[in-house]
Amino acid sequence: MSNKPESPKEHSLYDFLEEWQNTCLFDYQLTFTEAIESLSSKSGKRLIEARAGTGQRASTWTLFDTRTNQEAILVHAAVWRSNTNFDTGNFVPAGETPPNHIPDNRIQKIPSFKCEIAYTIDTGVEDSFYNNLEFYSNSDETVIYARDIEILEEYIQSVKGFNRDKLERSPWQNGTHRDSYSLTTKLFVKRTANVKEPNYEPHEWLVKGVKGQKKRDYVLNPRRPAYFDLVNNKAVVLQNSKPPRYKAGDIVWFAFKVSFYVASQYWSSDLTPIEFIRVARGARYGLNSAEDLDDEDEIDKPKKTLRDGAAISVIARNPHDEPKNLKRKKDDASDTDKTLSSDAADSNDGDKDLTDEDPEKTDDTKETTPQSTEDKSPPKSPSPSQVPPPEIPAPKAAASSRKKAKKSKA
């Protein structure tokens, strides 16, 4: 493991993000940027290649690291926007009260491939996830801005044997709307002959859902991302940190895998997160406030009202000045109509059961992001017994031949 400077105060937001985007914490990792760059015709050797699965996963192609011959672990850093509940996602079994901010038509009541946890990054503040790679034409060295995701998808379409039926790309997260990007973790997976025990303590709702199936088609996903906070140069389990959750505007570094699915109607890409670590609070760059009361425990806290005998405190306010937090709420108001995650893209397909072999995702809305950084939690599950990694010493920033990403926002 290696380490970054202890304080980002001397950096601009974009410099700090780029520094972490070019940082690996373990030797087996690749930065998203260097992996993409290696696909260029000018690259000496490709660092990644897509390989088809076998058996039930024959329609799934996964990126492999050509150095290790293992599934590629890519890393990046971004501005956090929101997430669904880390324990239950969008799954609410019958008879239970749904977390706040999840539209009724997005709630899943029985185990299926549409049950997931969504993690949404804000690509409107900093868009490198979509648009941070520069290429130069051989003729006039004109800069051509290309999207990382699109480059990956152009590559996979060139791989022999992929998408033999020439299906269209799913509209879900196809780059048309570029102010956010969601990664997801499935809560349930198809049952196989070798059922693995989960690496976490499952929430009672998930256990109830699995046991209540008429047919035991789905089991708990045995893998769940780990969540950390960088505190005094050490990785601390997020639930032991303060605040014990990620807030909109926080800077989060994350590792993930990339797969491509060919379903019955569309093909699409899927990014599965492995671990997250908050490397800076958004307040350092004016992206959120330490006093924000949008935390999970505060969302439904009753507002103060007058009581008999209560002391009166007068708060003088210029009627022409809009309160800061009210303005922020107005800015976020449109989020109430946004969908939660990939399962919710097409309302006409709301009841369609997606499987591992058919994870079609469509998008007929402008946004498909979780509405709140911190949904009100359902009853807490027992604390996972995750052991934080050791102190982070000196990572080598991954070499990158590109110029700095275009800074489109101040």
Give per-residue pLDDT as tens, 343-364.
434 433 433 343 444 444 444 4
In a domain, 77, yes or no: yes
**Do the domain assignments include residue 406?**
no
Secondary element (H or E) of residue 157: helix 148-158
Q: Which amino acid is at 288?
A: N
Distance between CA atoms of residues 25 and 396, nearest Å: 8
Is the Cβ–Cβ distance between 226 and 185 less than 8 Å?
no
pLDDT given at position 237: 97
Mean residue pLDDT across the chain: 75
Range of the domain at 231: 13-349
Is 35 a domain residue?
yes
Supply the pLDDT for residue 286.
87
**Cβ–Cβ < 8 Å for 198, 221:** yes
CB 256 within 8 A of CB 63: no
User: Which residues are CB-neighbours of 406 under 8 A, at least 6 positions away?
Assistant: 131, 132, 134, 145
Cβ proximity of 6 and 394 under 8 Å: no
Judged against a pLDDT cut of 90, whether residue 41 lies above it is answered with no
Residue 316: predicted pLDDT: 64
Asked whether residue 104 is assigned to any structural domain, the reply reads yes
Cα-based torsion angle of the residue sequence 253, 254, 259, 260 in order, rounded to the nearest 10 degrees = -40
Residue 99 to residues 109, 116, 123, Cα–Cα distance (Å): 13, 14, 26
Cis? peptide before 243, omega within 30° of 0: yes
Give the lowest-confidence range in 123-132, 215-224, 262-271.
123-132
- Tell me how far apart the alpha carbons of residues 292 and 301 are, in angstroms, rounded to a whole number: 13
- Mean pLDDT over 128-135 rounds to 46
The answer to whether position 330 is within a domain reads yes
Question: Which residues have a Cβ under 8 Å from the Cβ of 6 and sit 6 or more positions away?
Answer: 233
φ, ψ (nearest 5 deg) of residue 207:
-60, -45
The answer to whether 389 touches 395, Cβ cutoff 8 Å, is no
Query: Is 168 within a domain?
Result: yes
The whole-number pLDDT of residue 145 equals 33
- Per DSSP, the three-state class of 41 is coil
Structurally, how many domains does the chain consist of?
A: 1
**Is 398 part of any domain?**
no
Whether residue 304 lies inside any domain: the answer is yes
User: Residue 325 has what pLDDT?
Assistant: 47
Structure confidence at residue 170 (pLDDT): 87
Mean local confidence (pLDDT), 248-261: 95
203/195 Cα distance (integer angstroms): 18
> CA end-to-end span of the chain, whole Å?
32
